[in-house]
Chain A
Protein backbone atom coordinates (compact mmCIF):
# COMPACT_ATOMS: atom_id res chain seq x y z
CA UNK A 1 0.00 0.00 0.00
CA UNK A 2 1.18 3.57 -0.60
CA UNK A 3 2.62 5.60 2.25
CA UNK A 4 0.36 7.62 4.55
CA UNK A 5 2.45 10.67 3.68
CA UNK A 6 1.03 10.94 0.18
CA UNK A 7 -2.58 10.63 -0.87
CA UNK A 8 -2.84 8.99 -4.26
CA UNK A 9 -6.00 8.87 -6.38
CA UNK A 10 -5.27 5.27 -7.33
CA UNK A 11 -3.90 2.61 -4.97
CA UNK A 12 -1.21 1.75 -7.49
CA UNK A 13 -0.16 5.34 -8.20
CA UNK A 14 3.45 6.15 -7.51
CA UNK A 15 4.57 2.59 -8.17
CA UNK A 16 7.05 1.99 -10.96
CA UNK A 17 7.78 -1.27 -12.68
CA UNK A 18 11.20 -2.56 -11.67
CA UNK A 19 11.22 -6.04 -13.14
CA UNK A 20 9.55 -9.39 -13.41
CA UNK A 21 9.03 -12.21 -10.97
CA UNK A 22 10.44 -14.54 -13.59
CA UNK A 23 13.76 -12.70 -13.39
CA UNK A 24 14.16 -14.14 -9.91
CA UNK A 25 14.00 -17.70 -11.14
CA UNK A 26 17.69 -18.09 -11.95
CA UNK A 27 19.36 -17.18 -8.66
CA UNK A 28 16.65 -15.57 -6.54
CA UNK A 29 17.87 -11.99 -6.87
CA UNK A 30 18.64 -9.25 -9.35
CA UNK A 31 19.44 -5.57 -9.30
CA UNK A 32 18.66 -2.81 -11.73
CA UNK A 33 18.72 0.96 -12.07
CA UNK A 34 15.22 2.40 -12.43
CA UNK A 35 15.39 6.14 -12.88
CA UNK A 36 17.81 7.39 -10.25
CA UNK A 37 17.28 4.38 -7.99
CA UNK A 38 19.40 1.23 -7.95
CA UNK A 39 17.19 -1.50 -6.53
CA UNK A 40 18.10 -4.96 -5.30
CA UNK A 41 15.17 -7.38 -5.60
CA UNK A 42 15.31 -10.79 -3.98
CA UNK A 43 13.18 -13.64 -2.79
CA UNK A 44 13.76 -14.87 0.73
CA UNK A 45 11.66 -17.38 2.66
CA UNK A 46 9.18 -17.20 -0.21
CA UNK A 47 8.70 -13.43 0.04
CA UNK A 48 9.84 -10.95 -2.62
CA UNK A 49 11.48 -7.85 -1.16
CA UNK A 50 13.57 -4.95 -2.41
CA UNK A 51 16.37 -2.97 -0.80
CA UNK A 52 18.40 -0.10 -2.08
CA UNK A 53 21.40 -1.59 -3.90
CA UNK A 54 23.55 1.42 -3.01
CA UNK A 55 25.92 0.93 -0.10
CA UNK A 56 25.81 4.03 2.13
CA UNK A 57 29.59 3.83 2.56
CA UNK A 58 30.90 4.81 -0.88
CA UNK A 59 28.04 3.73 -3.14
CA UNK A 60 29.10 0.20 -4.03
CA UNK A 61 26.73 -2.49 -5.35
CA UNK A 62 25.32 -4.46 -2.40
CA UNK A 63 23.83 -7.17 -4.61
CA UNK A 64 26.87 -7.85 -6.81
CA UNK A 65 27.41 -11.25 -5.19
CA UNK A 66 24.66 -13.77 -4.67
CA UNK A 67 23.12 -13.73 -1.21
CA UNK A 68 24.96 -16.15 1.09
CA UNK A 69 24.27 -17.13 4.70
CA UNK A 70 21.52 -14.54 4.93
CA UNK A 71 23.91 -11.70 4.10
CA UNK A 72 24.62 -9.49 1.14
CA UNK A 73 28.28 -8.51 0.73
CA UNK A 74 29.01 -5.26 -1.04
CA UNK A 75 31.58 -5.79 -3.77
CA UNK A 76 33.73 -2.78 -3.11
CA UNK A 77 34.66 -3.01 0.56
CA UNK A 78 32.96 -6.20 1.74
CA UNK A 79 30.48 -4.52 4.06
CA UNK A 80 27.80 -7.07 4.89
CA UNK A 81 24.08 -6.44 5.26
CA UNK A 82 21.48 -8.65 6.92
CA UNK A 83 19.00 -9.78 4.27
CA UNK A 84 16.11 -9.75 6.73
CA UNK A 85 16.57 -6.21 8.01
CA UNK A 86 18.94 -4.42 5.61
CA UNK A 87 21.10 -3.57 8.61
CA UNK A 88 24.85 -3.35 8.07
CA UNK A 89 26.65 -5.82 10.32
CA UNK A 90 29.79 -3.70 10.69
CA UNK A 91 28.60 -0.09 10.79
CA UNK A 92 25.51 0.48 12.94
CA UNK A 93 24.39 3.65 11.21
CA UNK A 94 24.23 1.98 7.79
CA UNK A 95 20.87 0.49 6.92
CA UNK A 96 19.53 -0.13 3.43
CA UNK A 97 16.22 1.43 2.54
CA UNK A 98 13.49 -1.10 1.85
CA UNK A 99 11.15 -0.30 -1.04
CA UNK A 100 7.43 -1.03 -0.87
CA UNK A 101 6.48 -3.50 -3.56
CA UNK A 102 3.37 -4.42 -5.45
CA UNK A 103 3.19 -7.63 -7.48
CA UNK A 104 0.78 -7.96 -10.38
CA UNK A 105 0.99 -11.23 -12.30
CA UNK A 106 4.63 -11.40 -13.40
CA UNK A 107 5.38 -7.73 -12.86
CA UNK A 108 7.07 -6.19 -9.83
CA UNK A 109 6.42 -2.53 -9.00
CA UNK A 110 8.19 -0.42 -6.37
CA UNK A 111 7.18 2.83 -4.75
CA UNK A 112 10.18 5.05 -5.33
CA UNK A 113 8.75 8.17 -3.68
CA UNK A 114 6.87 7.90 -0.40
CA UNK A 115 7.12 11.40 0.96
CA UNK A 116 6.59 14.86 -0.49
CA UNK A 117 8.92 16.44 2.04
CA UNK A 118 12.16 17.66 0.45
Chain B
Protein backbone atom coordinates (compact mmCIF):
# COMPACT_ATOMS: atom_id res chain seq x y z
CA UNK B 1 0.00 0.00 0.00
CA UNK B 2 1.02 3.59 -0.50
CA UNK B 3 -0.48 6.96 0.32
CA UNK B 4 -1.83 9.75 -1.83
CA UNK B 5 -1.35 13.10 -0.15
CA UNK B 6 -2.50 16.67 -0.66
CA UNK B 7 -1.95 19.83 1.37
CA UNK B 8 -2.89 23.45 0.90
CA UNK B 9 -3.55 26.54 3.00
CA UNK B 10 -5.76 29.57 2.73
CA UNK B 11 -5.82 32.76 4.78
CA UNK B 12 -9.29 34.09 5.47
CA UNK B 13 -10.67 37.23 7.09
CA UNK B 14 -13.02 35.34 9.39
CA UNK B 15 -12.75 34.46 13.06
CA UNK B 16 -11.92 30.84 13.80
CA UNK B 17 -15.26 30.32 15.56
CA UNK B 18 -17.13 31.21 12.39
CA UNK B 19 -15.09 28.78 10.30
CA UNK B 20 -15.78 25.97 12.77
CA UNK B 21 -19.49 26.93 12.86
CA UNK B 22 -19.50 26.58 9.08
CA UNK B 23 -17.90 23.11 9.17
CA UNK B 24 -20.31 21.83 11.82
CA UNK B 25 -23.44 23.40 10.31
CA UNK B 26 -24.22 20.27 8.28
CA UNK B 27 -27.68 21.41 7.23
CA UNK B 28 -26.20 23.94 4.81
CA UNK B 29 -24.61 21.14 2.78
CA UNK B 30 -27.80 20.60 0.73
CA UNK B 31 -28.59 24.33 0.82
CA UNK B 32 -25.53 26.42 0.11
CA UNK B 33 -23.85 23.51 -1.72
CA UNK B 34 -26.96 22.18 -3.45
CA UNK B 35 -25.13 21.88 -6.75
CA UNK B 36 -22.60 19.47 -5.21
CA UNK B 37 -24.53 17.53 -2.57
CA UNK B 38 -27.76 15.59 -2.99
CA UNK B 39 -28.60 14.30 0.47
CA UNK B 40 -27.28 14.30 4.01
CA UNK B 41 -28.25 12.58 7.22
CA UNK B 42 -26.68 12.89 10.63
CA UNK B 43 -26.42 9.42 12.12
CA UNK B 44 -25.10 10.58 15.47
CA UNK B 45 -23.75 13.79 16.93
CA UNK B 46 -22.44 15.04 20.22
CA UNK B 47 -20.75 18.22 21.31
CA UNK B 48 -17.50 18.04 19.35
CA UNK B 49 -18.15 15.26 16.83
CA UNK B 50 -20.57 14.30 14.10
CA UNK B 51 -21.11 11.07 12.17
CA UNK B 52 -23.00 11.69 8.94
CA UNK B 53 -23.92 10.07 5.65
CA UNK B 54 -23.99 12.14 2.48
CA UNK B 55 -24.17 11.81 -1.27
CA UNK B 56 -22.40 14.12 -3.66
CA UNK B 57 -21.31 14.59 -7.25
CA UNK B 58 -17.52 14.78 -7.31
CA UNK B 59 -15.63 16.81 -9.91
CA UNK B 60 -14.24 14.83 -12.86
CA UNK B 61 -16.29 11.77 -11.81
CA UNK B 62 -19.83 12.11 -13.18
CA UNK B 63 -21.56 9.77 -10.77
CA UNK B 64 -23.37 10.26 -7.48
CA UNK B 65 -21.28 8.87 -4.64
CA UNK B 66 -22.24 8.02 -1.09
CA UNK B 67 -19.87 8.37 1.81
CA UNK B 68 -20.08 8.29 5.56
CA UNK B 69 -18.08 10.91 7.40
CA UNK B 70 -16.87 11.18 10.95
CA UNK B 71 -15.58 14.59 12.00
CA UNK B 72 -14.43 15.70 15.38
CA UNK B 73 -12.82 18.71 16.91
CA UNK B 74 -9.62 17.38 18.43
CA UNK B 75 -8.98 20.84 19.81
CA UNK B 76 -10.47 24.24 19.10
CA UNK B 77 -7.76 24.64 16.43
CA UNK B 78 -7.76 21.20 14.86
CA UNK B 79 -10.55 19.22 13.19
CA UNK B 80 -10.14 15.65 11.96
CA UNK B 81 -12.41 14.06 9.34
CA UNK B 82 -12.67 10.52 8.06
CA UNK B 83 -14.62 9.84 4.88
CA UNK B 84 -15.54 6.23 4.22
CA UNK B 85 -16.22 5.90 0.50
CA UNK B 86 -16.82 3.15 -2.06
CA UNK B 87 -14.34 0.26 -2.61
CA UNK B 88 -13.19 0.49 1.00
CA UNK B 89 -11.48 3.83 0.43
CA UNK B 90 -10.82 5.89 3.51
CA UNK B 91 -10.01 9.57 3.09
CA UNK B 92 -8.43 11.12 6.18
CA UNK B 93 -8.33 14.89 6.53
CA UNK B 94 -6.85 17.27 9.05
CA UNK B 95 -8.01 20.87 9.22
CA UNK B 96 -5.78 23.21 11.18
CA UNK B 97 -7.09 26.65 12.16
CA UNK B 98 -4.40 29.15 13.06
CA UNK B 99 -5.34 32.58 14.36
CA UNK B 100 -3.71 35.44 12.48
CA UNK B 101 -5.62 38.33 14.06
CA UNK B 102 -8.79 38.58 16.09
CA UNK B 103 -10.93 38.26 12.96
CA UNK B 104 -8.68 36.28 10.65
CA UNK B 105 -7.14 32.84 10.48
CA UNK B 106 -5.26 30.42 8.26
CA UNK B 107 -6.90 27.13 7.33
CA UNK B 108 -4.58 24.29 6.34
CA UNK B 109 -6.06 21.11 4.93
CA UNK B 110 -4.12 17.85 4.72
CA UNK B 111 -5.72 14.92 2.92
CA UNK B 112 -4.52 11.33 2.78
CA UNK B 113 -5.84 8.13 1.29
CA UNK B 114 -4.16 4.72 1.28
CA UNK B 115 -4.22 2.88 -2.03
CA UNK B 116 -2.42 -0.10 -3.61
CA UNK B 117 1.10 0.84 -4.73
CA UNK B 118 0.11 0.46 -8.36
CA UNK B 119 -2.14 3.50 -7.98
CA UNK B 120 0.65 5.83 -6.92
CA UNK B 121 0.45 7.29 -10.43
CA UNK B 122 -2.84 8.90 -9.33
CA UNK B 123 -1.02 11.29 -6.97
CA UNK B 124 -1.26 14.34 -9.32
CA UNK B 125 -4.92 13.60 -10.00
CA UNK B 126 -5.64 13.21 -6.28
CA UNK B 127 -4.10 16.58 -5.49
CA UNK B 128 -5.98 18.19 -8.35
CA UNK B 129 -9.24 16.58 -7.22
CA UNK B 130 -8.77 17.74 -3.63
CA UNK B 131 -7.93 21.28 -4.69
CA UNK B 132 -10.80 21.47 -7.16
CA UNK B 133 -13.30 20.21 -4.62
CA UNK B 134 -11.93 22.39 -1.86
CA UNK B 135 -12.05 25.59 -3.88
CA UNK B 136 -15.47 24.89 -5.45
CA UNK B 137 -17.05 24.40 -2.07
CA UNK B 138 -14.83 27.02 -0.46
CA UNK B 139 -16.08 29.74 -2.82
CA UNK B 140 -19.67 29.06 -1.78
CA UNK B 141 -18.68 28.95 1.87
CA UNK B 142 -16.79 32.22 1.57
CA UNK B 143 -19.93 34.09 0.50
CA UNK B 144 -21.82 32.43 3.32
CA UNK B 145 -19.18 33.31 5.88
CA UNK B 146 -19.00 36.92 4.69
CA UNK B 147 -22.71 37.34 5.11
CA UNK B 148 -22.77 35.48 8.41
CA UNK B 149 -20.02 37.73 9.76
CA UNK B 150 -21.85 40.84 8.54
CA UNK B 151 -25.16 39.99 10.24
CA UNK B 152 -23.27 38.75 13.30
CA UNK B 153 -21.53 42.11 13.67
CA UNK B 154 -24.90 43.85 13.27
CA UNK B 155 -26.13 41.96 16.33
CA UNK B 156 -27.81 38.92 14.76
CA UNK B 157 -29.18 36.37 17.20
CA UNK B 158 -29.80 32.82 15.95
CA UNK B 159 -33.49 31.90 15.67
CA UNK B 160 -34.42 35.57 16.28
CA UNK B 161 -32.75 37.74 13.65
CA UNK B 162 -31.88 41.41 14.00
CA UNK B 163 -33.89 43.16 16.69
CA UNK B 164 -33.93 46.51 14.93
CA UNK B 165 -35.34 44.89 11.79
CA UNK B 166 -37.95 42.92 13.70
CA UNK B 167 -38.94 45.86 15.89
CA UNK B 168 -38.68 48.42 13.07
CA UNK B 169 -36.48 50.67 15.15
CA UNK B 170 -33.20 52.41 14.42
CA UNK B 171 -30.29 50.03 14.02
CA UNK B 172 -26.63 50.38 14.91
CA UNK B 173 -24.75 53.15 13.12
CA UNK B 174 -21.73 50.90 12.79
CA UNK B 175 -21.30 47.13 13.04
CA UNK B 176 -19.55 45.79 16.12
CA UNK B 177 -16.40 44.51 14.43
CA UNK B 178 -15.10 43.17 17.73
CA UNK B 179 -18.12 41.06 18.63
CA UNK B 180 -16.64 37.71 19.71
CA UNK B 181 -17.62 34.60 17.78
CA UNK B 182 -17.71 31.72 20.24
CA UNK B 183 -17.41 28.03 19.36
CA UNK B 184 -20.70 26.46 20.50
CA UNK B 185 -21.36 22.89 19.37
CA UNK B 186 -23.49 21.15 18.34
CA UNK B 187 -25.22 23.61 16.04
CA UNK B 188 -29.00 23.62 16.74
CA UNK B 189 -31.00 21.81 14.03
CA UNK B 190 -34.27 22.75 12.37
CA UNK B 191 -34.75 19.97 9.82
CA UNK B 192 -35.06 16.18 9.69
CA UNK B 193 -31.30 15.88 9.27
CA UNK B 194 -30.87 13.94 12.50
CA UNK B 195 -33.75 11.58 11.70
CA UNK B 196 -34.54 10.56 8.14
CA UNK B 197 -32.11 12.99 6.57
CA UNK B 198 -32.69 15.85 4.14
CA UNK B 199 -32.39 16.25 0.39
CA UNK B 200 -31.71 19.28 -1.70
CA UNK B 201 -35.05 20.79 -2.82
CA UNK B 202 -33.93 21.25 -6.43
CA UNK B 203 -31.01 20.42 -8.69
CA UNK B 204 -30.78 23.86 -10.21
CA UNK B 205 -32.48 27.19 -9.82
CA UNK B 206 -32.39 30.66 -11.23
CA UNK B 207 -29.84 32.13 -8.88
CA UNK B 208 -30.12 35.84 -8.17
CA UNK B 209 -27.22 35.78 -5.78
CA UNK B 210 -26.45 37.68 -2.61
CA UNK B 211 -27.89 40.93 -3.90
CA UNK B 212 -27.41 43.88 -6.18
CA UNK B 213 -24.77 46.54 -5.56
CA UNK B 214 -25.56 49.94 -4.15
CA UNK B 215 -28.74 51.83 -5.00
CA UNK B 216 -28.46 53.48 -8.42
CA UNK B 217 -28.66 57.26 -8.50
The CA of A6 and the CA of B209, in the complex, are separated in Å by 35
Contact B166 A38 (CB under 8 A): no
Contact A54 B216 (CB under 8 A): no
- Tell me, yes or no, whether B158 is within 8 Å of chain A by CB: yes
Chain B contact residues: helix, strand, loop or mixed:
loop
Number of A-B contacts (CB under 8 A): 126
Contact B215 A17 (CB under 8 A): yes
Smallest CB gap from A95: residue in B: B166
- Tell me, yes or no, whether B201 is within 8 Å of chain A by CB: yes
Instruction: Kindly identify, within residues 138 to 178 of chain B, every residue whose CB is under 8 Å from any CB belonging to chain A.
Output: 144, 147-148, 151-152, 154, 156, 158-162, 164-172, 175
Residue from the list B166, B170, B210, B216 in contact with A97, Cβ < 8 A? B166
With an 8 Å Cβ cutoff, the count of chain A residues facing the other chain is 50
The CA of A73 and the CA of B211, in the complex, are separated in Å by 15
Contact B200 A115 (CB under 8 A): no
* Interfacial residues, chain B to chain A (CB-CB below 8 A): 25, 27-28, 30-32, 34, 144, 147-148, 151-152, 154, 156, 158-162, 164-172, 175, 190-191, 198, 200-201, 205-216
Residue from the list B31, B151, B170, B198 in contact with A59, Cβ < 8 A? B151
Q: A56-B159, A64-B207, A77-B190 are in contact. Are A37 and B147 (CB under 8 A)?
A: no
